[in-house]
Amino acid sequence: MTEIMDFLLEQWIFSGTLVALVALLIYGERAKKYQIVDTNGAITLMDDDDLIILDVREEKERKTGFINSTTHIPMGQVKGKLDMLDKNKKILTYCKSGMRSKTTAELLCKNQFNHVYNLKGGFDAWQAAGLPIKK
């Protein structure tokens, strides 16, 4: 055991780098608690009647269409309206391309929402797949 300690002390740059990488790996896994799903994964989630589909786009974007049965809360308002959402239900977030909904998914996870999903590619991917929308 002392040989290992001697090695680590002599190789302090290597040791420090190793510790930092392990810490980043552990933190990265804890920080990202939501899952990314493609359109097929989203459709599978929609089989659950208790799923909340959260559209975080702005109102003007919704005029181009939206996924049926969605709850609409623009991203900038989500933090103030967390109490409107059930922490025990599955929540699928989406925006136009998937970036704002990713930020929203992270926010939900930080606030103890347990089953959070983000639609990869957002509404653009949904439309590109030819899936139904409402206007």
109 as an active site residue: the answer is no
For residue 12 the two structure tokens come to: 């302090």
Q: How far apart, in Å, are the Cα atoms of 103 and each of 16, 23, 44, 92, 131? A: 31, 23, 23, 13, 24
CA–CA separation, 29 and 65 (whole Å)? 34
Active-site residue identified among 91, 95, 105, 109: 95
Q: Which residue numbers are catalytic?
A: 95
